[in-house]
Structure 1
Amino acid sequence: MPGLRRWLVPLALLACVILSFFDKISIAVLISSPAFQADLGLTGESTKLGLLMTGFLLSYGASSMFLGFLGDIFSPRSCLYAMMFLTAAIMAIMGFVDDFGVLLGLRVLLGIAEGPMFAVAYTIVKRLFPPKEQARATMLWLLGTPIGATLGFPFTIWVVDQFGWRASFFAIALLTIPVVLIVYLVFRNLDVTTRSPALQHSDQSHVPLSTHRSATTTLLKRWSFWSICLFNVAFLAYLWGLNSWLPTYLVQDKGIDLDQAGMFSSLPFLAMLVGEVLGAIISDRFDRRALMCSISMLGAGLGLALVLSIEGSNWAMIAAMSFSAAMWGVGAPNVFALLAKATPSDVSATAGGIFNGLGNFSGALVPVLIGSLIVATGNMTAGLMFMMAMAFLGAGVLLPLVRRY
């Protein structure tokens, strides 16, 4: 794909990530809705409510680790279509559910369907863009994380307020239609499969399992790969703590009404978006991926420390939370660029799947852990302190890689 048209690819992936983030965070709004809690018998059941996010993340992480390799073997474009159709069907079915156990099961299936998304997107960018452009290309589709949250929280709150909580599932399922159209228009003449290093001199349409197994074994022996994976565990623990409990924190701890909480919930994710853009531009210029990631998490931890120190001003609190989220955003495109720099191209989807899956699988414990801390302490302070500790852990774990990458 010549010239500027290449940049339509990460923009199409951006639409996919925004949609998938609507799927992810819609439940965070619902668990703060009294009507949703009453209809499913979950009033006062904070641990069960957290389990709705944790169940999704556990299956999402496992799917990313064990199904991400499909992007190395088959067409990433076909993987995108399959994921979108499956998630739309599951979201539509959720709108008819009356039982907590059934809803939890569907959340698990949703995680399985969406698990390979980041691995596939990462693989497409690595195959189509040179290293000097990868942070910016990655940033474009990773912006789906803050944009999805920025739009998703107020959109879901509005739908729930106007039409009820069931309508939120149907609305998100319908949004799949324009996203599939965008992907079709951008990818219809693009064959990223043949750009795989394992297929460049072959007439085969997929990579033999024996070839892929050998390359994967080499990948798993690299200590630098596992260091980056450990960083991502801490990185995503912060993100899912914020995604899962921010509206509840604002409503229950700070006494902000639900409508205003929608606006307040959006501000940290707008800041996160700005952080991602700046982080990508600076990192592509200086190519110091590990250093940028470490600085990112240090700033995120310091921002949370400010949040915990502020009393009496909700605007000052949300400003500190936004600073923390912006610093987290600086690391988002850089961590994928760091992974690309430190891993072989012929197992990019596998590396991305393990990396993303392990991070989300571990991060899956965060929502239910914070839910349990809320029950035990009666407020969110302990949860924020846990997120802050994970941020500082992430800042330190990459220090041995700073000079090399």
Structure 2
Amino acid sequence: MSRTTTEAPILNAQQKKSVRIRWFLVGFLVLGGVVNYLDRSTLSVANTTIAGEFGLDAFQMGLLLSAFSWPYAIANLPAGYLVDKFGPKKMFAFAAGAWSLVSIVSAAANSFGFLYAARVALGIAESPFFTSALKVNERWFNKSERALPVSLVNTGSQIANAIAPPLLTFLLLTMSWRGMFVIVGVLGVVIALVWLRIYRDPTLKEQAMIKGAEAQAKAIASVEKVGWGQLFKYRNTWFMILGAFGIFYTVWVYLTWLPSYLQTARGFSLSDSGWLASLPFLCGIIGVVFGGWLSSKLVKRGVGTVLARKIPIVGGALLAAAAVLPVAYVDSTPLAIVLLSVGYFASQVPIGCLWTLASDIAPSNQVASLGAIQNFGGFIGAAVAPVVTGAVLTATGGSYTLVFLIGGILLLVGALSYGFFVKERPEPASEPVDSVPSH
């Protein structure tokens, strides 16, 4: 994973016009992210409703809420390789079509086992989406530009998280949770068909225009033919996995248990919790964009690209920990909502930069693979979070104190992993630092 420092070209007005399709593609990926995360959110919003219908306790519901994340995490590994091999057009369209079909089929669930299997299938189907989006951005933007579009794509998930509680709660109340699953599934079919129609890769002339010397450097790096498995020989890869685990764990406590927390611990009704749960997620939209903006600003001021990614990642994780940890001891509901909102804002500041960091460190033919490996680590955390939370709630009679303490501690683990152990220069884990030649 050697790197070559290059100057990214600054496009003039005419050149920007000739490649303006790239911003349209970014906009469509944002929309795709919204639909993608609406699919993921259906079960969380219907948490108490489905638990009541199927007679599930908190631990069983935790298992069901984690059923998506385990296969999603594992499937990210081959998904990254497949995106590098077949390209983002085919893989994104396949993913959107597959996850939509699974969502529609899920509406027919009549048992815990059926719904669990459907969530497993959903996790596998959705795994190529963000790696495809990363590949699109790597192909259409140079290094100095990339943080903002990658972060914008990640706002799609946060927009969905913000609108999902009120929107999906409305669908649940008006047409049952089964109708909600069908409607969201149909939206994904539309996304897949439109993507097949509009997407294309940049031409060789456009690549040279966008990236300049970077395009040549990437081509040289690609000739090195670093094997997919070779990425696991680098310390950076392992600490990116650990760091993503810590950050994603807490994010998925929000995504899977926040509506239930507001209803059971704070006493809000189903309809009220739908609106209140959207507040932290609205803050998350701002957090993702802020992280990308800050990283881009730092690069333009001469900060090294890897350091410019790490500053929002580490700073965001530390601020999130500082906000989440006190929630465990706060009696005031308004203050708890404020802290949860600040915590989620801060936890989203790193998200776009995590993906951009992968594209900065990896050679061109391994960008999606390294991004997927990092995402694998993140979604191991996402898979563990609902199960551990459910087990804690069962063991403590519904107390969320330990839930927030665990989340805050793991955010600190994430900050330390990226801050101290992810380096500008990748180093194979099997070799001492001094034996690695400089590049």
> What is the TM-score normalised by the length of structure 1?
0.90
Distance 2:76 2:224 in 1: 17
CA contact (8 A) 2:137 2:149 kept: yes
What is the identity, as a one-letter code, of the residue corresponding to 1:262? G
- What whole-Å deviation, never above 9, does each CA across 1:92-122 have from its counterpart, x for those lacking one? 1111111110110111011111112111111
Distance 2:363 2:145 in 1: 17
Residue 66 of structure 1: CA displacement?
Answer: 2.5
Q: For 1:96-175, what aligned pairs fall within 5 Å after superposition?
A: 96-175=108-187
CA distance in 2 between partners of 1:139 and 1:186 (Å): 21
Shift of residue 2, structure 1, vs aligned partner: 2.8
Corresponding residue for residue 5 of structure 1 = 21
- What amino acid is the match of 1:334? C
C-alpha distance in 1 between matches for 2:421 and 2:145:
21
Partner of 1:206: none
Q: Distance in 2 between matches of 1:283 and 1:67?
A: 27
Letter in 2 for 1:294: V
Give the AA of the match of 2:368. A
Is residue 65 of structure 2 the alignment partner of residue 38 of structure 1?
Answer: no
Q: Distance in 1 between matches of 2:378 and 2:203?
A: 26
- Structural mapping, 1:329-340, within 5 Å: 329-340=348-359
Q: 2:109 aligns to what SS in structure 1?
A: coil
- For 1:41, give the aligned amino acid: G
Structure 1 equivalent of residue 37 of structure 2: 21
User: Matches of 1:282 and 1:37 in 2, distance apart?
Assistant: 42
Shift of 1:252: 0.3
| Matched residue, 2:98 | 86
Q: How do 1:351-390 residues align onto structure 2 when only pairs under 5 Å count?
A: 351-378=370-397, 379-390=399-410
Q: Given the alignment of the two structures, is residue 328 of structure 1 paired with residue 355 of structure 2, yes or no?
A: no
Q: How is 1:68-87 mapped onto 2 (pairs within 5 angstroms)? A: 68-87=80-99
CA contact (8 A) 1:139 1:276 kept: yes
Match of 1:207 in 2: none
CA distance in 2, matches of 1:319, 1:184: 42
Rate the CA distance shift 1:106–1:277 in 2: closer, same or farther, 3 A.
same
Corresponding residue for 2:361? Answer: 342
- Do 2:58 and 2:394's aligned partners in 1 also have CA atoms closer than 8 Å? yes
**Rounded Cα–Cα distance in structure 1 between residues aligned with 2:127 and 2:143:** 25
The equivalent of 2:261 in structure 1 is 249
Segments of 5+ residues of structure 2 without an aligned counterpart are 1-16, 209-222, 300-307, 426-439
Shift of 1:167: 0.8
1:40 is matched by which residue type in structure 2? F
Aligned to 1:205: none
Which range is displaced more, 219-228 or 252-261? 219-228
* Alignment gaps of 5+ in structure 1: 198-210
Paired with 2:119 and 2:411, the residues of 1 have a C-alpha distance of 27
Matches of 2:207 and 2:364, distance apart in 1: 8
Shifted more, 2-11 versus 213-222: the winner is 213-222
* CA contact 2:325–2:407 (8 Å) conserved in 1: no
Partner of 2:302: none
Q: How far did 1:166 drift?
A: 1.0
Is residue 268 from structure 1 mapped to residue 280 from structure 2 by the alignment? yes
Contact 2:87/2:132 (8 A) holds in 1: no
Kindly tell me: are residues 212 and 265 of structure 1, through their superposed partners in 2, closer, same or farther at Cα, counting changes over 3 Å? farther
Using the TM superposition, give the Cα deviation of residue 395 of structure 1 relative to its aligned residue in structure 2, in angstroms.
Answer: 1.3
* Whole-angstrom CA distance in 2 between matches of 1:252 and 1:213: 53
Separation in structure 2 between the aligned mates of residue 224 and residue 75 of structure 1, nearest angstrom: 25
1:335 counterpart letter in structure 2: L
**Native 8 Å contact 1:19 1:176 kept in 2:** yes
**Secondary structure, in 3 states, of the residue corresponding to 2:287?**
helix
Q: Which has the larger radius of gyration?
A: 2
What residue number does 1:232 align with?
A: 244
Cα gap change, 1:196 to 1:59, in 2 (>3 Å): farther
CA contact (8 A) 2:328 2:402 kept: no
Deviation at 1:161, TM superposition (A): 0.8
Q: Could you report, residue by residue, the CA deviation over 1:119-170 in whole angstroms, capped at 9, with x for unpaired residues?
A: 1111111121111111101011100121111111211111111111111111
Q: Does 1:54 align with 2:66?
A: yes
Asked if 1:191 corresponds to 2:201, the answer is yes
Q: How many equivalent pairs are there? A: 386
Residues 84 and 180, structure 1, Cα contact 8 Å, conserved in 2: yes
Residue 292 of structure 2 aligns with an amino acid whose one-letter code is A
Match of 1:308 in 2: 328
- Compute the displacement of 1:217 (Å): 4.1
Contact 2:139 2:201 in 1 (8 A): no
Change (3 A) 1:142 1:292: same
More moved, 377-386 vs 263-272? 377-386
Q: Give distance in 2, aligned partners of 1:155 and 1:259.
A: 10
Partners of 2:188 and 2:147 lie apart in 1 by 27
Inter-partner Cα distance in structure 2 for 1:193 and 1:75: 14
- Deviation at residue 212 of structure 1 after TM alignment: 9.7
Structure 1 residue 78, shift from structure 2 partner? 0.8
1: CA distance between counterparts of 2:21 and 2:203?
Answer: 18
Tell me whether 113-122 or 175-184 shows the greater mean CA deviation.
Answer: 175-184
With 170-179 and 373-382 compared, the bigger mean Cα shift is at: 170-179
